[in-house]
Structure 1
Amino acid sequence: MTQRVELATVMDRLAVDAVITGYAVAVDDADWTAYEALFTPDGRADYRSAGGIEGPAGEVAGWLAETLTVFPVRQHLIVNRRLRLEDLNGDTGDRAELQADYLNPMFLEQPGRPAGAPAPNFVTGGRYAFELLRSEEGAWRVRRVTVHEKWRRTGPHAL
């Protein structure tokens, strides 16, 4: 591999990492405009394993916006990222696959709970499978994300 190809690969890895981090931040901050901007025009999301829906990113963003209102505090931790960039004749390609584990503690809104006591009471864990494409402008975008929820805990001591 030439030094130029190695540098391009490093830059692609950093750019994909920024997209995945942006995904977590957009969901946690309820920034649905930013969420949709992370996807290709035909991008899709599949949350069925976690009790959700599957569909176009815009439709799923609307569902998330409505569903997550009961969780005023949430934080996605996306770790153990395994990235595979498509290789085209020794050069990085325009497609990537990324699998990453996640831990997602959330605080379920409870009327009457004392202020300042937001202990996580709903935690899920699992794995994301992302398929990403490079846009014509050169930016990486999510073509598909699939959530594979493996476990969930609820209650006052969910963590």
Structure 2
Amino acid sequence: MTQRVELATVMDRLAVDEVVTEYAVAVDDGDWEAYRGLFSPEGRADYRSAGGIEGDARQVAAWLEESMRLFSMRQHLIVNRRVAFGTLDQDTGDTARVRADYVNPMRFAADGAESAAPDFVCGGRYSFGLLRTYDGWRLSEVVVQEKWRRLPEPAKAGVSD
């Protein structure tokens, strides 16, 4: 591999990593326009394993916008990113796959004082498919595989703080 090819691969890896980071930030910040902008025109997302929907980026963004109103705080931590580049039409590097684990603490929106601790935490694995477009790397597919979740413990009768 030449230095030029190695540099291009590093640049692509950084660009792909940035798309994954921007995905987490868009969801956490509730920036649904930015979320939709991360996808290719045919891009789809599948949140069914986490109790959500599967559909195109527009449909899923609308669903996320509604369902994320339940949470006043969201913080995706996407780690252990494994990136692999593929081929499309015989041109090396036109597609990428990222498998990454996530932990997602969230706090329920509530009237009055909020605790600093999250009420709801889930974790699992993302599978991102990306496509090189004229506008840069875009998501062609996002699949969430939720593996676990921890819900708030019910208040015990007769116990006060």
Are residues 1:31 and 2:25 paired? Answer: no
Instruction: Give the secondary-structure state (helix, strand or coil) at the position aligned to 1:26.
Output: helix
TM-score normalised by structure 1 residue count: 0.91
In the alignment, structure 1 residue 20 sits paired with structure 2 residue 17: no
How far is 1:109 from its partner?
1.9
Quick one: which amino acid aligns to residue 142 of structure 1? Answer: L
Q: Distance in 1 between matches of 2:108 and 2:140?
A: 30
Which residue matches 2:152? 155
The alignment covers a number of residue pairs equal to 152
Output the TM-score relative to the length of structure 2: 0.90
Q: Distance in 1 between matches of 2:14 and 2:139?
A: 15
Match of 1:118 in 2: 116
Q: 1:145 corresponds to which letter in structure 2?
A: V
Regions of 4+ moved over 4 Å: none
Which protein is bigger by CA-based radius of gyration?
A: 2
The residue that corresponds to 2:134 in the other structure is: 136
Residues 1:50 and 2:67 are matched in the alignment = no
The residue type paired with residue 124 of structure 1 is: C
Q: Gapped runs of 5+ residues in structure 1?
A: none
For residues 95 and 9 of structure 2, what CA distance do their matches in structure 1 show? 12
Matched, 1:145 2:147: no
Paired amino acid for 2:131: L
Q: Give 1:148 deviation, angstroms.
A: 0.1
Structure 2 CA distance for partners of 1:92 and 1:7, relative to 1, 3 Å? farther
Q: Describe the shift of the 1:43–1:87 C-alpha distance in structure 2 as closer, same or farther (beyond 3 A).
A: closer
Deviation at 1:14, TM superposition (A): 0.2
1:111: how far off?
A: 3.3
Q: Distance in 2 between matches of 1:120 and 1:66?
A: 20
Q: Residue 127 of structure 1 aligns to which amino acid in structure 2?
A: R
Distance 1:136 1:110 in 2: 43
Equivalent residue of 1:7, what SS? helix
Displacement of 1:73 after TM fit?
0.4
Kept after mapping to 2: 8 A contact 1:8/1:92 = no
Identity over the aligned pairs, expressed in percent? 64
| C-alpha distance in 2 between matches for 1:73 and 1:102 | 16
Distance of 1:70 and 1:46 partners within structure 2: 20
